[in-house]
Amino acid sequence: MTIKPARTRIAPSPTGHMHLGTARTALYDYLLAKKTGGQFILRIEDTDLKRTVPGAEQEIMDGLRWLGLNYDEGPDVGGKFGPYRQTERREIYAQHAKVLVEKGHAYPCFCTPDTLEKTKQEQMKRKENPHYDGTCRVLSPDEAARKIANGEAYIVRFKMPQEGVTVAHDHLRGDISTENKQFNDQVLLKTDGLPTYHLAAMVDDHEMGITHVLRGSEWLGTFPLHVNIVRAFGWHEPIWVHLSVFLKPTGKGKMSKREAADAMKDGYSIFIKDMPALGFTPEGSLNWMALMGWGVAEDDVMSMEEMIERFSVDGLTPSPAAINFQRLDHFNSTHIRLMNADDLASRIKPYFERENLKVDDAILLKMIPLIRERLVTLDDCLAFGSFFFKENVTPLPEDLIAKGLDSKQSAEIAIKSYEILSALSEINHIVAEPPMRAYVEQSALSANQVFGILRAAVTGQKVSPPLFESMEIIGREKVLQRLKNAIEILQR
Ligand code: GLU
């Protein structure tokens, strides 16, 4: 069977921060396009001017690029089917609305907001669900033309069938049947001449040759309206895929603003813009989100190439997915372990620089094997490796005092260590570890006591990568200088 190249699109509205949901849909779109040798498109759905947030469009583009979901067509890269920003396509929607009116599937509506509000209040008084009462649906074309000629303001509404059933087919959920009488005549074109999502998205998906519409399940409610619009034009329908919803980590309900802020306090975020600063890698993030809604058997650690290889729309699942940040940690640390040293070095370097540390590239490469296994997020490199790039470290006096000993006894250990190490022409684990171990054996001290003091002295912290390997990277001169400094602290 030959696979037809798919054309997919991510169509975000620039109304806030780009979140996990958009990123996951974009990933599936991307995988499907790449898998089939098709195209992945970015379309900015910015027709709700009141909700447009400055900078949000840029954030979407930056987020997609950071994730490596490079689109083949889009507002800033162009393409044959542009423009890719809906506010630049007004004319196209106006023409299509006109076509629907001419075909008798839509009509101009002259009801003023005041009248609509009054009708709504009356309906509510009668305990009815608010709905458009159809005043302009029954206007004759002549009457409507006369009002337009008179300059009366109008919107365009879709003439929803009032009888029968609409059967809409979702690829994951099967046929969804809905009684038509429960629908309203929805707005297609607003008074400002801009379209609503219902018209704009249907027109664009058709005009841009989209084969698969992957979108959030919040659109299931208006799905019957959308298929009616597509059918009214007489177009071929795309394959519709409504993805699973995300649930908050507890598995109950959707994530609220407050919970999103709480997650941030714990070092997690549902916004893509936050991921780099929190130390998450594109690889780890993508692998994590891929599996929230895609059931993959066997080994689930996948590179982008492997995801493309294994992806299939049929493998997507409609059941809700709980956001599990521990899984994000898992995938992130796993992908960090899979990176080669040069790659990892270039990724952690910015975190040191963010702290104004001067990074020596040779040292950076040497420390990678010592810290790699300890990194859950990239910024963990700071906790495990800042001391490599510092001129001096300032250990806390209490960290320099070994368990069961006082400061005087600890100072003596530091002095003895200084004597042993300064007698060596070089400090590395091969030459420095044996004499230090011999010292521990001869004394009544434990390795923990002696090496604990040494660790605090040369790294400035209680937990560090392997001590002797670290000292080797720090270098003899700095090790001795730091030890001297520690002795002074202990003797104060
Ligand atoms: N602009 C819509 C949204 O942001 C897009 C939905 C779709 O993918 O069709 O929710």
Say what the pLDDT of residue 297 is.
Answer: 67
Measured between alpha carbons, how far is 197 from 434 in angstroms, rounded to an integer? Answer: 73
Report CA dihedral (313, 315, 316, 319) to the nearest 10 degrees.
150
Taking CA atoms only, the protein residue closest to ligand 1 atom 9 is 215
Rg of the chain taking only CA atoms, in angstroms: 32
Taking CA atoms only, the protein residue closest to ligand 1 atom 7 is 215
Q: Mind listing the domains of the chain with CATH numbers?
A: 1-74+244-338 (3.40.50.620), 89-243 (3.40.50.620), 339-390 (1.10.8), 391-492 (1.10.10.350)
The pLDDT-based confidence of 299 (bands split at 50, 70, 90) is low
The question of whether 257 is a catalytic residue gets the answer yes
- Ligand 1 centroid – CA 4 distance (Å): 24
157 lines ligand 1 (CB under 6 A): no
Inform me whether the pLDDT recorded for 250 exceeds 80. Answer: no
Say what the pLDDT of residue 260 is.
Answer: 83
Say what the pLDDT of residue 255 is.
Answer: 77
- Ligand 1 centroid – CA 215 distance (Å): 6
Pocket probe for ligand 1: among 10, 17, 32, 45, the residue whose CB has the most ligand atoms within 8 Å is: 45
Inform me whether the pLDDT recorded for 32 exceeds 70. Answer: yes
47 lines ligand 1 (CB under 6 A): no
Measured between alpha carbons, how far is 376 from 334 in angstroms, rounded to an integer? Answer: 8
* pLDDT tens, position by position, 72-113: 999 999 999 999 999 999 999 999 999 999 999 999 999 999
- Ligand 1 centroid – CA 242 distance (Å): 11
* pLDDT tens, position by position, 234-245: 999 999 999 998
Say what the pLDDT of residue 265 is.
Answer: 86
Inform me whether the pLDDT recorded for 1 exceeds 60. Answer: no
pTM: predicted TM-score of the whole model, two decimal places: 0.93
- Cβ contacts of 88 within 8 Å, gap of 6 or more: none
- Ligand 1 centroid – CA 77 distance (Å): 20
Amino acid at 210: I
Q: Is 104 helix (H, G, I), strand (E, B) or coil?
A: coil
19 lines ligand 1 (CB under 6 A): no
Measured between alpha carbons, how far is 111 from 156 in angstroms, rounded to an integer? Answer: 11
Strand partners, 107: 157
- Ligand 1 centroid – CA 147 distance (Å): 34
Taking CA atoms only, the protein residue closest to ligand 1 atom 10 is 12
Q: Where are the alpha helices (DSSP H) in 274-324?
A: 282-290, 304-310
* pLDDT tens, position by position, 425-466: 999 999 999 999 999 999 999 999 999 999 999 999 999 999
Pocket probe for ligand 1: among 8, 13, 19, the residue whose CB has the most ligand atoms within 8 Å is: 13
Kindly report the average pLDDT of the chain as a whole number. 95
Say what the pLDDT of residue 296 is.
Answer: 83
Atom of ligand 1 at shortest range from CA of 22:
4
Provide mean pLDDT across the span 471-475. Answer: 96
User: What percent of the chain is modeled with pLDDT above 70?
Assistant: 99
* pLDDT tens, position by position, 322-363: 899 999 999 999 999 999 999 999 999 999 999 999 999 999
Tokens, residue 50 = 């009141």
* pLDDT tens, position by position, 145-177: 999 999 999 999 999 999 999 999 999 999 999
14 lines ligand 1 (CB under 6 A): no
29 lines ligand 1 (CB under 6 A): no
Taking CA atoms only, the protein residue closest to ligand 1 atom 8 is 215
Atom of ligand 1 at shortest range from CA of 25:
8
Say what the pLDDT of residue 240 is.
Answer: 98
Among 257, 265, 358, 403, the active-site one is 257
Bridge-based pairing of strands 155-158 and 106-109 is antiparallel
74 lines ligand 1 (CB under 6 A): no
45 lines ligand 1 (CB under 6 A): yes
Measured between alpha carbons, how far is 271 from 18 in angstroms, rounded to an integer? Answer: 6
Say what the pLDDT of residue 3 is.
Answer: 73
- Ligand 1 centroid – CA 394 distance (Å): 53
Measured between alpha carbons, how far is 50 from 52 in angstroms, rounded to an integer? Answer: 6
210 lines ligand 1 (CB under 6 A): no
342-345 LR contacts (CB < 8 Å, sep 24+)? 344/368, 344/372
* pLDDT tens, position by position, 178-218: 999 989 999 999 998 999 999 999 999 999 999 999 999 99
479-484 LR contacts (CB < 8 Å, sep 24+)? 479/421, 479/427, 480/418, 480/421, 480/422, 481/392, 482/392, 482/393, 482/457, 482/458, 483/414, 483/417, 483/418, 483/421, 483/454, 483/457, 483/458, 484/418
- Ligand 1 centroid – CA 356 distance (Å): 41
